[in-house]
Amino acid sequence: MPMRKTRRTRLERKTIKMEKYAKPLLRIAMSLIFLYFGFQQVSSPDAWAGFVPEFLTSAIITANNIVIFNGILELSLGLFMLLGLYTRFASLILALHLFGIAFSIGLNPLGVRDFGLSFATLVVFLNGPDEYTLDFKLAKKNKKAD
């Protein structure tokens, strides 16, 4: 006996059409978050130096230097993720980095937010490169060339 197709509502039908945008949307949104915070750290490291754990600082490496270095890392990997270049690698590093920050902050609103964001970044890692990434485009190009 043939299975009867379930009727889908109009909204459901439209949503299914937009499913393909879910992965790139999450990737772009997450990368914009990292780019924003990376830029903030680079432009005003003073405001972030207070978050650096004391054991990381020394006479040569000040908290400000660590913040600037962290900003460069977040900007670079954020751009990688935005363009979809080494998507899995960039998102995994950023997710682990954010996990570390979330744990060091502890159980407070900021820590919980970072914990959620790190999981969202981890989802980007698990999704891998979507069809709008450079990874995908370059792989496709290489396949054609072969």
Partner 1 sequence: MKTKITLAILIVLFVVSFVYFIRINQNSYTANEDSSGNIAGQIQESTTSSGTNNNTQTQNSNNKISLSELSKHNSREDCWVAYDGKVYDITSYLPRHPSSAGKILPYCGSADAFAQAFTKQHGTSKVSMLLKVGTFIGDFDVMGNIENSTANPAYADAQDAEDEIGEEDD
The binding site for partner 1 (CB under 8 A) comprises: 42-43, 45-52, 54, 57, 59, 62-64, 68, 71-72, 75-76, 79-80, 83, 85-86, 134-135, 138
DSSP string over 19-73: GGGHHHHHHHHHHHHHHHHHHHHHH-THHHHTTS-GGG--SSS-HHHHHHHHHHH
- The set of residues, in sequence order, having a beta carbon less than 8 Å from that of 47 and lying 6+ positions away, is 40
Q: Which is closer to partner 1, CB of 62 or CB of 127?
A: 62
Query: b/e map of 65-88 (b: 16 or more CB within 10 Å)?
Result: ebbbebbebbbebbebbbbbbbbe
- Both tokens of residue 46? 């003073």
How near is the Cβ of 58 to partner 1 at its closest, in Å?
Answer: 8
How near is the Cβ of 25 to partner 1 at its closest, in Å?
Answer: 22
Q: Which is closer to partner 1, CB of 114 or CB of 135?
A: 135
How near is the Cβ of 13 to partner 1 at its closest, in Å?
Answer: 38
How near is the Cβ of 41 to partner 1 at its closest, in Å?
Answer: 10
**Distance (Å, rounded) from C-alpha 67 to C-alpha 38?**
9
Q: Which is closer to partner 1, CB of 16 or CB of 33?
A: 33
Q: Which is closer to partner 1, CB of 11 or CB of 56?
A: 56
